[in-house]
Structure 1
Amino acid sequence: MGAPHDVVIIGSGFGGIGMAIRLRQAGVVDLVVLEKAGGLGGTWRDNTYPGAACDVPSHLYSFSFERKTDWSRRFPPQEEILGYLWHCARKYEVLPRIRFGTEVTGAEWDEAESAWRVSTSSGVVAARVLVSACGQLNRAVLPEIEGRDSFAGAAFHSSRWDHGVDLRGKRVAVVGTGASAIQIVPELARAAGRLHVFQRSAPYVISKPDRPYRTWEKGVLRAVPGAYAVSRARIYAQFEARALGFVKYPKLMGLMAWRFRKSLGQGVQDAELRERLRPDYPMGCKRILLSDDYYPAFGEPHVELVTEAVARITADGVVTADGRAREVDAIVYATGFASTDFLAPMKIVGRGGRELGEAWRDGGASAHLGITVSGFPNLFLLYGPYTNLGHNSIIYMLESQFRYVVGCVEAMRRAGLDWIEVRPDVQDAFDRRMQELLRATVWNSGCRSWYMTEDGRIVNNWPGFTFAYRNATRRPAPGDFLRGRKGEGPRRERGNRTA
């Protein structure tokens, strides 16, 4: 196994790459990034379906420390975002520290050595500090539909797109109408001979103000000092203002509901079809989606919206609850991800043999500031519980977490500590506060969403402004932690607590 590395990071998406860069800049040289796939990029590596793009503007969906002034569009496509991540990994010399094809199956805290023993497909790796950068949307979910495995044609999840299958002129079924589907459906409508879209719950779709950047605009961003910063700040302020509707005053969502009604009315001429595309829950309760061509796609004569529930899959098609069978050549499952499981299926065992999945089994996932978990020393989560957003860029949240983790690592180094661990009462107080705030948000207005556990507890989203999260994570509060050295029992760190 060898001597422990100073830091081991699991995952090489935005979280893993950005964390590695910031740790290197803080003087941490001995770090390793473990990546199960053959390339970096996380969700932007996996999701290569037609039309894949971001719904946050490019100037904000990028690292503040590595500005890109030549984005091709206001909302960047998948391949451009992936290229940006490869650029960052090369420029900041993270690439040589990534071990590709190394899947992490679990990790166990070694009390005697004050280190993590990380089990991988290539053996055991030891780490003084372990950072999970797995994200919330990496484990694809296939629906439990009778006969799903009996289908004789091509069938795949949207995040595992089979580019070897030519869908031009074919009969295609898309199951699901979430964030991926609203990008896929217009593309398939242009290619397929017949397209059936199976909708369980209608999404709110508003216009997407996307366009290519003009050559002169790129020139200004590149040459004029402060131009890029102004653009980024303007977009941030515009998006941040939406938090008022999501987390403070849900009635303000009526302003966005007007945009939805406008998009639906302009995109769909048939009144009966408009009604079937109209959601039956408050706007914002589920993720709001952006598209200018999703609704118009249903106006094409070869595109059908199916609102009857899928009853079963047969060898040659899809049968709905009304008994109608539709023969298809291919099925695309745009059915989302296991968003509330976080580190699963990895088995993480902390102090005293405590397993993380068991610790989270009853109340759902919980972590102080979404980053640290009591009973799991030197373990830090990126994009953990309570850190997802409905209104702004997750990159902003990740950069807040980078600073917090670096602060913890530097504090341990200065004090000569071997481990720190958030106090259980601090984590519990934070969790209670989150649940209290979440009760008043639009996400708790009566719908089921991927933000929730099976029992209806919201564990994904941050119930506030992103600048409030940045302030809360500006530096680790010493009084929030237990601390120790090898061979010593835990003792409380001196200093003030933060709420």
Structure 2
Amino acid sequence: MSKRFAIIGAGMSGILTAIKLKQRGIRDFAIYEKAGGLGGTWRDNTYPGLSCDVPSHVYAYSFELKADWSHRFSPGAEIQGYFEGVAKKYELDSHFRFNSEIVRAEYCDGRWHLSIKDGATDVVDFVICATGVLHHPAYPDIPGLGDFEGACFHSARWDHSVPLEGRRIGIIGTGSTAIQIVPALADTVSKLTLFQRTAQWVLPFANPAYSEDEKAMYHTSPERLQQSYDFWSARFVDTFARAVIGDQDELRKIEDACRTNLEENVADPDLRRRLTPNYRAACKRLIMSDTFYPAMQKPSVALVTDGIDRIEAGGVRTKDGVLHELDVLVLATGFDGHAFLRPMDVVGESGRRLADAWAQANEAYRSVAVPGFPNFFMLVGPNSPIGNFSVVLISEIQLAYILQLADLVLGGKCRAVAPKEEATRRFNVALREALKGTIWVTGCRSWYLDRNGNPALWPWSFGRFRREMDSPDLADFNLAA
């Protein structure tokens, strides 16, 4: 009897899972997606200036490199097009179930019973959750948010019907999104006001376009394309990834580069002071841009560092009493990076709910599985190393590990597999201890931190991640006969 898989989420990780199942000869699976199309974050985010902050040559499946990226850091629409093209190439269309949000998954009689929002159901043997991390927009808790009479929307829900040319635009937030939007709009609007709560460290990465000759070279020489992939992968591993987990020399290089960028590219001393962070570089996700500082010095752009008191019909009033009049208000306030599978109700063995298991903190065994939830796996789950490396490669490594566990069931060695409580506890104790030596706990506020102040990231090296995910230690798992 064949085993059926459910993949939840049609973004990068979901598409990856579908391809790898097909390559193993598994055809009995469905990809459930709550939205109307594939792509995940690249489908949802369409704001002006959107691009990836990971080089394009490494932000791709290792088995499906792309030779003709337009830029070193390519725009969001191009990345979305890449995933659409890959899904088409591997003939995944018949497996997608769009507008089909899974609201409940219950383990009963050795199988997972799925309930879809529209009333449909499915029964499967394996669930692989590829729901992503940054897909629940976080809205600011500011008095009067509903009183604003102009257009107001979250950056991840950009309203392209709203005209921007010649208008007064306000942006709340200074993360990667806002820092991409500002240069994109600075020359279009009559005035752009950036409301900053926290200044950011900005690394001056240029974003050159690839020439037609370079594209042709990568197209005709897969070896050169692979070399570019390997180069950018190694650069992340050998520099930034080491800095955030305690390599002080690498961290100092990053801080020096950011500080030099600020000092050399912001002329006004007062503006430079207000753009200077008061925490260590990389404590928050590091910003990469060579266009943000020039944009902030244009006559149409204003930086506001006074706290926001409330939002009124005509704009944003800050705590100094000034009303900043606006026509459009953009909430570039990020996402709830700790929601994971929520609001889906997941019920495992003996009626155990994932919501209860995660009542105090999101904890998993090596980010991919939870005790008491057999044949239920996650890609980019709690404490995945998403702050250090390309998330595409992370998903590939995790999926290879998960499929080794699934093989135990597919090969008849057991009926179900789940991590042991003790192994999961041991892993998370070691993880929390290791996090004490990382840059993320040095005092800044960031979306990395959960409600307990613990970063939901991987605190060790990339080499250790690869080693630990190379093959499962079966002593850490319950194998149901």
Question: TM over 0.5: same fold?
Answer: yes
Which whole-Å CA distance do the structure 1 matches of 2:51 and 2:299 have between them? 26
Which residue matches 2:436? 439
Which residue matches 1:157? 154
Could you tell me whether the CA contact under 8 Å between 1:339 and 1:450 is conserved in 2?
Answer: yes
Q: Residue type matched to 2:191 in 1?
A: R
Could you tell me whether the CA contact under 8 Å between 1:199 and 1:306 is conserved in 2?
Answer: yes
**Per-residue deviation, 1:117:** 1.4
Residue in structure 2 matching 1:74, options 72, 75, 84: 72
Which residue matches 2:164? 167
Residue in structure 2 matching 1:466, options 448, 462, 469: 462
TM (norm. structure 2) is: 0.97
Which residue matches 2:22? 24
Residue in structure 2 matching 1:338, options 336, 348, 365: 336
List structure 1 runs of 4+ shifted beyond 6 angstroms. Answer: none
Which whole-Å CA distance do the structure 1 matches of 2:75 and 2:185 have between them? 17
Taking the TM superposition and a 5 Å limit, the aligned residue runs for 1:55-204 are 55-110=53-108, 112=109, 114-122=110-118, 123-204=120-201
Q: Secondary structure at the match of 1:395?
A: helix
2:467 corresponds to 1:476: no
Distance 1:187 1:479, change over 3 A: same
Which whole-Å CA distance do the structure 2 matches of 1:250 and 1:453 have between them? 25
**Per-residue deviation, 1:465:** 2.4
Which whole-Å CA distance do the structure 1 matches of 2:66 and 2:250 have between them? 34
Residue in structure 1 matching 2:395, options 394, 398, 402: 398
Q: Secondary structure at the match of 2:186?
A: helix
**Per-residue deviation, 1:152:** 1.1
Which residue matches 1:40? 38
Which whole-Å CA distance do the structure 1 matches of 2:90 and 2:388 have between them? 30
Which whole-Å CA distance do the structure 2 matches of 1:451 and 1:357 have between them? 20
2:202 corresponds to 1:205: yes
Q: Residue type matched to 1:466 in 2?
A: F
Q: Residue type matched to 2:137 in 1?
A: A
Query: Which range moves more in the overlay, 36-45 or 225-234?
Result: 225-234
Which whole-Å CA distance do the structure 1 matches of 2:480 and 2:389 have between them? 38
Q: Residue type matched to 2:26 in 1?
A: V
TM (norm. structure 1) is: 0.93
Which whole-Å CA distance do the structure 2 matches of 1:125 and 1:325 have between them? 54
CA displacement, residues 154-195 of structure 1 (integer Å, 9 cap, x when unaligned): 000000000000111111110000010000111121211111
**Per-residue deviation, 1:209:** 2.4
Which residue matches 1:216? 213
Superposition CA RMSD, Å: 1.5
Could you tell me whether the CA contact under 8 Å between 1:174 and 1:334 is conserved in 2?
Answer: yes
Q: Residue type matched to 1:400 in 2?
A: I
Which whole-Å CA distance do the structure 2 matches of 1:366 and 1:19 have between them? 22
CA displacement, residues 393-420 of structure 1 (integer Å, 9 cap, x when unaligned): 1111110011011111112111253311
2:243 corresponds to 1:241: no
Q: Secondary structure at the match of 2:245?
A: helix
2:404 corresponds to 1:407: yes
Which residue matches 1:418? 415
Could you tell me whether the CA contact under 8 Å between 2:420 and 2:476 is conserved in 1?
Answer: yes
CA displacement, residues 318-349 of structure 1 (integer Å, 9 cap, x when unaligned): 11111211111110000000001211111111
**Per-residue deviation, 1:299:** 0.9
Taking the TM superposition and a 5 Å limit, the aligned residue runs for 1:370-381 are 370-381=367-378
Which whole-Å CA distance do the structure 2 matches of 1:192 and 1:4 have between them? 58
Residue in structure 1 matching 2:227, options 230, 235, 241: 230
Could you tell me whether the CA contact under 8 Å between 2:9 and 2:40 is conserved in 1?
Answer: yes
**Per-residue deviation, 1:231:** 1.2
Could you tell me whether the CA contact under 8 Å between 1:4 and 1:127 is conserved in 2?
Answer: no
**Per-residue deviation, 1:421:** 1.0
| Structure 2: segments with no counterpart, 5+ residues | none
**Per-residue deviation, 1:226:** 1.4
Residue in structure 2 matching 1:312, options 310, 328, 332: 310
Could you tell me whether the CA contact under 8 Å between 2:380 and 2:386 is conserved in 1?
Answer: no
Q: Residue type matched to 1:87 in 2?
A: G
Aligned-residue identity in percent: 39
What count of residue pairs does the alignment treat as equivalent? 479
Could you tell me whether the CA contact under 8 Å between 2:3 and 2:410 is conserved in 1?
Answer: no
**Per-residue deviation, 1:262:** 2.1
Distance 1:271 1:479, change over 3 A: same
Which residue matches 2:8? 10
Taking the TM superposition and a 5 Å limit, the aligned residue runs for 1:448-459 are 448-459=445-456
